[in-house]
Homo-oligomer: A and B are copies of this chain.
Amino acid sequence: MAIAVAGPEIERLIQLLARLPGLGPRSARRAALHLIKKRDALMTPLASALQVAIDKIEVCKTCGNIDTQNPCTVCTDPRRDPSIIVVVADVADLWALERASATNGRYHVLGATLSPLDGVGPDDLTIDALVARAHDPAVGEIILALNATVDGQTTAHYVTDLLQDANVKVTRLAHGVPVGGELDYLDEGTLSAAMRQRTLF
């Protein structure tokens, strides 16, 4: 794809950068050049930050979060409510909920959503571990924070079925108008869900 114009070491760097999401071959070249020009200010710190991450980052054995401690910061935080488990598909979703300070509960990362077309079945998700956690008497509510897509909702139904024997309340995120959103630009499904689930003003 990229024609070798620089030495093989630079080409290798460009090829690896191009595999990052959001960077194509052209922007990877620009990024490599930027790094080389800012060797002390950026390239050296980035190399060592990557090495630190390689050495230290682990997957939390309780919830599946990514952290430098195991169990992770969220699981060991005594201020978090142990009775709530928020189920997410991916660590990125966990991060998004944390940025929003959306919950005081703890998490469970499934790792993916069910997707028969992509060959993702129940065994590829950490559903067994979730069911085991749900049977802990300290847990009272499981919040399904899954994408409002077909795969996400299929996964939500599947998980809900398996949680029926556990003594927990299973909830899911509300559908509705995004904050700052304009009605004119919303799809019909969102609008009618927002109308059905309207709340007292």
> A residues near B, CB below 8 A?
2-3, 5-7, 9-10, 12-13, 16-17, 19-23, 27, 29-36, 39, 42-47, 49-54, 56-57, 66-69, 73, 91-92, 94-95, 98-99
- Whether B46 lies near A9 (C-beta < 8 A) is no
Do the beta carbons of A16 and B36 come within 8 Å of each other?
Answer: no
Whether B99 and A3, one on each chain, are in contact in the complex, defined by CB atoms closer than 8 angstroms, is yes
Q: List B contacts of A2 (CB < 8 A).
A: 99
B-side contacts of A5, CB under 8 Å = 94-95, 98-99
Chain B residues near A42: list those with CB within 8 A.
Answer: 16, 19-20
Let me know if B91 and A33 touch, CB within 8 A: yes
A60, B47: Cα distance in complex, Å = 23
Residues of B within 8 A of A44 (CB): 54
Partner of A21 from B21, B27, B46, B99 at Cβ < 8 Å: B27
Q: Are A13 and B43 interface neighbours, CB within 8 A?
A: no
In whole angstroms, how far apart are the Cα atoms of A133 and B27 in the complex? 32
**Nearest chain B residue, comparing its CB with the CB of A16:** B46
User: For A46, what are the chain B residues with a Cβ–Cβ distance below 8 Å?
Assistant: 13, 16-17, 50
**Distance in angstroms between the alpha carbons of A39 and B52 in the assembled complex:** 12
How far is it, in angstroms, between the C-alpha of A35 and the C-alpha of B47 when the chains are bound? 13
